[in-house]
Amino acid sequence: MSVSCGDTLSIQDESQLRVFRSSDWAERISCTNCGGALFWRLTGGGFVAVAAFAFDDPSRFAFTEEIFVDEQPVSYAFANETHRMTGAEVVAAMQAKEGN
């Protein structure tokens, strides 16, 4: 689960971060100390999704969107109503953001 931060994320010290280029247009960032996933971002800028549990109080964020729903297990379901996007819809949206 992650929190969309648009392009507003700023990092004070990147020395403890590991960057993995996961596709032609995005990268995943993790902690070099514990290996925990921290965030995902477009390489061209414009969008960053931070892991919800990277925040001191993740309960302050509302869970409103699911992505890659066409790839989730059959028994995987949340109780609340969410905006649901297929993998193709997510990729198209991210490529549109990268083009801006």
Domain boundaries, given as residue ranges, for the chain: 2-99
CA count, 13 A, side-chain hemisphere, 43: 9
When mean pLDDT is compared over 6-10, 30-34, 93-97, the highest value belongs to: 30-34
Give the predicted TM-score (pTM) of the model.
0.76
Higher pLDDT, 97 or 75: 75
In tens, the pLDDT along 7-19 reads 888 888 889 999 9
CA distance 79 to 31: 31
Confidence of residue 46 (pLDDT cuts 50, 70, 90): confident
* pLDDT the model gives residue 89: 94
CA distance 29 to 23: 13
**Nearest partner of 31 among 7, 12, 15, judged by Cα:** 15
pLDDT over 80 (residue 100): no
Place of tokens 């990277």: 54
% residues pLDDT > 90 (the chain): 42
* pLDDT the model gives residue 11: 85
Identity of the residue numbered 84: R
